[in-house]
């Protein structure tokens, strides 16, 4: 039993099945991120935890107590919305302590809690202002202050940063992470931003079309995606997915791909990887950082392989240069050091780290494991 248990929870809005049998168990102090494209059911799940949506079937329990029929105010959770939902006519201080007042917490305690939260979020100098007199980032802090002041069992966040500009979003992301480390709070956080998911979470639930596609640590999700959807959704630039045929050569399974000139090239798969797949088609998954210039290659790689190929596009991005080349007729993006000498139209010797390669069954779309 976890701190927050979601057991076989489903949601139907009439004919629309918004969620199918979701099972997630969250430990105390975990930072669980729900990530996925628009309409996949993230907010629906969060709202069901909060008690703002009814549960069609299944059970949600907080600290061992089933909360299905429990009013939101009785669940000891706090939610921060994308819109912040601050009261425009109240001061920042009133906005933060309003919930405590409703719960009949005595004034001295409210004042003490306000002071603590004000200091934690560095908004002490804003307490007398109204929301209209604040910047977007400051409003966001006030909305978080209102959640923090209640000391809830679980914090729920629904895309709290999506109204902020890019720079502020990165700053606030770091603040939320610091806050989590400091407070050890249990958090469920919704975003459609895969970078936010990777940087904030202790675990990620990748969702699509009402299903949890994979639940795991950021490393597991990134290095061992369960299927093509997860592989394509997490990571930017996205994982390269190259059609390949499994052949045996020199006693080992190899992925046969074709280079830009249409000539077959072999990429050696780790021993024992997929002997059963000999002669069959797979999709070879290579992250851009697994395809580099030889000097930029990971020194710890055990299956580093050379691949000569014609360079298509080069895109300098400051610290790195992204290079596109053609493999099996698909664009394959490589991540090179900024000073690697790759020129469009010319041949280049790439280093491919096959330790990091993954493979997918093109039919079932599932990752092929040993
Ligand atoms: N009140 C409702 N009535 C009918 N269908 C709804 C209702 N609320 C949500 N849905 C549907 O349920 C599905 C999941 O919606 P939800 O809001 O949970 O998605 P989301 O993952 O939060 O998306 P976004 O990233 O756009 O916020 C969608 O298909 C949506 O159209
Ligand atoms: Mg939503």
Residue from 232, 241, 187 nearest 208 by CA: 232
Burial class (CB in 10 A: 0-12, 13-18, 19+), 236: exposed
Query: Using CA positions, which residue lies closest to atom 12 of ligand 1?
Result: 18
pLDDT tens digits for range 136-166: 888 988 998 998 898 899 999 999 888 888 8
Distance 210 CA to ligand 1 centre (A): 9
Write down the mean pLDDT value for the chain: 93
pLDDT at 122 over 90: no
Q: DSSP H helical segments within the chain, as ranges?
A: 42-50, 92-102, 107-120, 136-148, 166-183, 194-200, 218-223, 228-233
Mean pLDDT of 125-131: 94
Site residues for ligand 1, CB cut-off 6 Å: 13, 16, 18, 36, 38-44, 192
Residue nearest to atom 19 of ligand 1 (CA): 39
What is residue 328's predicted lDDT score, i.e. its pLDDT?
98
- Nearest atom of ligand 1 to the alpha carbon of 207: 21
pLDDT value of position 272: 65
The predicted-structure confidence for 18-55, as pLDDT tens digits, reads as follows 999 999 999 999 999 999 999 999 999 999 999 999 99
Both tokens of 224, joined, read 């061992």
Summarize the confidence of residues 58-78 as an average pLDDT: 95
- On whether the CB atoms of residues 307 and 265 are closer than 8 A, the answer is yes
What pLDDT is attached to residue 166? 87
On whether the CB atoms of residues 309 and 325 are closer than 8 A, the answer is yes
pLDDT (average), residues 115-121: 89
Contacts of 142 (CB under 8 A, 6+ apart): 84, 86, 92, 95, 96, 123, 126, 131, 134
**CA 50 – ligand 1 centroid, Å:** 16
CA distance 215 to 224: 11
pLDDT, one tens digit per residue, over 171-187 is 889 989 998 998 899 99
Omega before 349 within 30 of 0, i.e. cis: no
Q: How confident is the model at residue 120 (pLDDT cuts 50, 70, 90)?
A: confident
Q: Look at residue 175 in the predicted model and tell me its pLDDT.
A: 86
pLDDT at position 273 over 80: no
Q: How far is the CA of 22 from the centre of ligand 2 (A)?
A: 17
Q: Whose CA is nearest to atom 29 of ligand 1?
A: 39
Most informative mutation of 10, 14, 42, 81 for ligand 1 (most atoms within 8 A of CB): 42
Instruction: Check pLDDT > 70 for residue 370.
Output: no
Average pLDDT for 223-244: 96
pLDDT given for residue 112 in this prediction: 93
Ligand 2 center to 39 CA (angstroms): 7
Query: Do residues 17 and 58 lie in contact, with contact meaning Cβ atoms separated by under 8 Å?
Result: no
d(CA 48, CA 55): 6
The pLDDT value given to residue 168: 83
Q: What SS3 class is residue 219?
A: helix
Crossing angle of helices 136-148 and 92-102, in 10° steps, is 20
CA–centroid distance, 219 to ligand 2, in Å, is: 25
pTM of the prediction?
0.92
Is residue 88 pLDDT above 70, yes or no?
Answer: yes
Percentage of the chain lying above the pLDDT 70 cut: 98
DSSP state string for 227-290: BHHHHHHSSSSPPEEEEEEEEEETTEEEEEEE-TTS-EEEEEPPTTSSGGGTT-EEEEEE-GGG
């Amino acid at each position: 039993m976890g701190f927050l248990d979601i057991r076989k929870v489903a949601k139907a809005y009439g004919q629309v099945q918004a969620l199918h049998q979701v099972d997630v168990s969250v430990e105390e102090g975990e930072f669980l991120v729900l990530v996925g494209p628009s309409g996949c059911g993230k907010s629906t799940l969060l709202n069901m935890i909060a008690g703002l949506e009814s549960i069609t079937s299944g059970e949600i329990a907080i600290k061992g107590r089933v909360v299905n029929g429990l009013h939101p105010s009785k669940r000891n959770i706090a939610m921060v919305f994308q819109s912040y939902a601050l009261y425009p006519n109240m001061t920042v201080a009133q906005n933060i302590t309003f919930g405590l007042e409703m719960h009949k917490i005595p004034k001295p305690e409210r004042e003490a809690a306000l002071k603590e939260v004000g200091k934690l979020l560095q908004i002490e100098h804003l307490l007398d202002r109204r929301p209209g007199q604040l910047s977007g980032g400051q409003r966001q802090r006030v909305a978080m202050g209102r959640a923090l002041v209640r000391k809830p069992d679980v914090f729920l966040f629904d895309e709290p940063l999506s109204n902020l500009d890019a720079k502020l979003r990165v700053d606030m992301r770091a603040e939320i992470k610091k806050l989590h480390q400091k407070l050890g709070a249990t958090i469920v956080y919704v975003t459609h931003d895969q970078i936010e998911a990777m940087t904030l979470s202790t675990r990620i639930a990748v969702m699509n079309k009402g299903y949890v596609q994979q639940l795991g640590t950021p490393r597991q999700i990134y290095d061992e995606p369960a299927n093509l959807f997860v592989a394509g959704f997490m990571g930017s630039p996205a994982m390269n997915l190259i059609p390949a045929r499994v052949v045996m050569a020199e006693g080992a399974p190899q992925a046969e791909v074709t280079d830009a000139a249409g000539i077959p090239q072999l990429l050696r798969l780790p021993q024992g990887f997929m002997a059963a797949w000999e002669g069959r088609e797979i999709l070879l998954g290579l992250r851009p950082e697994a395809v580099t210039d030889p000097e930029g290659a990971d020194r710890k790689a055990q299956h580093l392989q050379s691949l000569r190929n014609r360079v298509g596009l080069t895109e300098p991005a400051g610290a790195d240069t992204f290079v596109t080349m053609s493999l099996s007729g698909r664009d394959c993006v490589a991540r090179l050091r900024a000073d690697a000498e790759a020129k469009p139209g010319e041949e280049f010797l790439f280093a491919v780290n096959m330790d990091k390669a993954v493979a997918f069954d093109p039919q079932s779309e599932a990752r092929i494991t040993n």
